[in-house]
Amino acid sequence: MKQFLKYNVIKLVLLVSVFLLTSISNSFGQSKAEKIKELMSVNNEYGLFNGSVLVVENGKVIYNEGVGFANMEWDIPNKPNTKHRLGSITKQFTSMLILQLVEQGKLKLDAKISNYLPDYPKKTGNQITVHHLLTHTSGIPEFLMIPNFMKEYSRNTYTPNEFISLFSDLPLQFKPGKKFSYSNSGYFLLGVLIEKITGKSYEQVLHENIFIPLKMKNTGFDHHSTLLKNRATGYLKTGKIYSNSNFGDMSIPYAAGSMYSTTEDLFIWDKALSQNLLLKEKYKKLLFKPYVSAWGGGYGYGWHIIEKSIGGKKVKIINHTGGINGFTTVIYRMPEQNNLIVLLNNVENTNLTNIGLSIGSILYNGPYVLPKKSFADLLMETAMTEGFDIAFRKFVKFKDTDNYSINENEINNLGYQLLGMNKVVEAIEILKLNVEKFPNSWNTYDSLGEAYLINGSKKMAILNYKKSLKLNPKNLAGKKALKKLQN
């Protein structure tokens, strides 16, 4: 299953679910900052991270550095003031604007969206509340799942009202409030609500209500045409080979994912959230209340909330990931200890899981491990230089070794990269290997089913979609694909 803006958000629980690791690195006696520096250096050396990192302990910055290059063509390094696209981290800013309108009495969370958007289809608009949009429980179909979305729509410029017409007439996936299903469509619609109520553009409201009051001078709504000082270039990594990411028009992610920022500005944002600079306390609390179960924890308004034991200490973690063409991001807030981790990576589809886990363990004096070389990189590099037959033989040789990191998401992303290169047969072989290595993952079967579908292998597509649904009956995209195949 491939996502565009979420950047593997459905895998968000993996980022925070196992903060206690099992091995200690050989950095005994180092300070926390030195350990983090070593960790990030190794991650960069192995091609696992290229971006900007901020770590705050007890309200004080202990690490704030750039790693790798903001622009690889000119060898321009990443720095703390490098501007990265945020992807879905944008959603927490959208939810803040919505609650400001609630505080001002201009909007009600339990009101139907038809009350504010009279042109929205009333058949669905009369069922969906603002709360449903904020908590991904509206049932509005994900616009990323529109057939051929990437090819036919993602490069075009739309006004907000033009774009919502792509999904506003689609039937709801479920009765609003009954299920959690992550939806960029819902947060796009929240941006339209903000514009309708204020009479201003979403971008203007962001600046007036958040960026200017907090003096976040290096944060904004990204426009491809704007000359933006210190902007990072976004990249796609295939094996060890980097290329410029595919273009996506920023009018599409909009209130769901079109912002850029720096680690330093996100520290300002974190401090504002710890105080009552933008909202009164009773409204601010609504942001972080876990209304629905999601990814092993709860989902509030633009935030994922979970509690985990780290270094023997029970920690409440308020977090969100982001992913968009060329960028992968994550922000972890641990407000009870006044700790913060921000990772802004200008390479798309990067797995930030182990980095976040290790930094968290360092902060809380728990055990952690230094990274290993990526097996997905080895596989792709070998395939490109020596052929896929040799690459597959190496997979069999190395799949049970501890010398390489074998990650389900990385191999899955590799399969989709091959599909994007029209190497469908090779992609199928890669995804078959992922199924072999991770036989209990519904997503591996779903991805393999999609590859078989693209290849025209209907029987095999049906078989793998059925296996996926057996492991995860809530896989709505799989249900839809299977239904279409069986008709």
One domain for residues 445 and 344: no
Q: What is the mean pLDDT of residues 309-335?
A: 93
Q: What is the pTM of this model?
A: 0.83
Residues 302 and 397 grouped into a single domain? no
Instruction: Give bridge partners of residue 334 from the DSSP assignment.
Output: 339
Of residues 459 and 149, the one with the higher pLDDT is: 459
Q: What is the CATH number of the domain that holds 234?
A: 3.40.710.10
Domain shared by 209 and 281, yes or no: yes
Distance CA 385, CA 211 (A): 48
Residue 3 clears pLDDT 50, i.e. is over it: no
The mean per-residue pLDDT over the stretch 419-424 comes to 86
Domain co-membership, 382 together with 364: no
Q: Which of these three, 335, 369, 403, is where a domain ends?
A: 369
Same domain as 430, residue 293:
no
Contact 316/330 with Cβ under 8 angstroms?
A: no
Written as six digits, the tokens of 171 are 């039937």
- Residue 10: pLDDT band with limits 50, 70, 90: very low
Q: Confidence class of residue 90 from pLDDT cuts 50, 70 and 90?
A: very high
Domain end marker among 351, 369, 387: 369
* 7 or 133: which leads in pLDDT: 133
Q: Which residues share a beta bridge with 259?
A: 221
Asked whether the predicted pLDDT for residue 150 surpasses 90, the reply is: no
> Tokens for 147?
């057939």
What is the C-alpha to C-alpha distance for residues 387 and 395, in angstroms, rounded to an integer? 13
Residue-wise pLDDT tens digits, 198-227: 999 999 999 999 999 999 999 999 998 899
Residue 446 is part of which domain span?
373-486
Identify which of 329, 331, 354 has the alpha carbon closest to the alpha carbon of residue 341: 331
Domain stops at, among 318, 338, 369: 369
Residue 364: closest CA among 317, 309, 318, 319: 309
Overall domain count for the chain = 2
What's the first-to-final CA gap in the chain, in angstroms?
A: 21
- Same domain? For 277 and 306 the reply is yes
128 lies in the same domain as 153: yes
Q: Are residues 378 and 338 part of one domain? A: no
Confidence of residue 29 (pLDDT cuts 50, 70, 90): low
Q: Mark out the alpha helices in 157-251 (DSSP H runs).
A: 160-164, 184-198, 202-206, 212-214
User: Do 100 and 188 belong together in one domain?
Assistant: yes
Distances (CA, A) of 365 to 319, 347, 385: 20, 29, 42
Report whether 462 contacts 485 (CB < 8 A).
yes
Domain co-membership, 316 together with 413: no
If one compares 434 and 398, the residue with the highest pLDDT of the two is: 434
Spatial CA neighbour of 345 closest among 378, 321, 381, 375: 321
Name the helix (H) or strand (E) containing 314: strand 313-324
Helix (H) or strand (E) holding 101: helix 90-103
**Same domain, yes or no, for 135 and 107?**
yes
- 362 neighbors 354 (Cβ within 8 angstroms): no
* Lowest mean pLDDT segment, chosen from 185-199, 200-214, 419-433: 419-433
What whole-number percentage of the chain has pLDDT above 90? 69
Q: Regarding predicted confidence, which is higher, 323 or 151?
A: 323
pLDDT higher than 70, residue 400? no
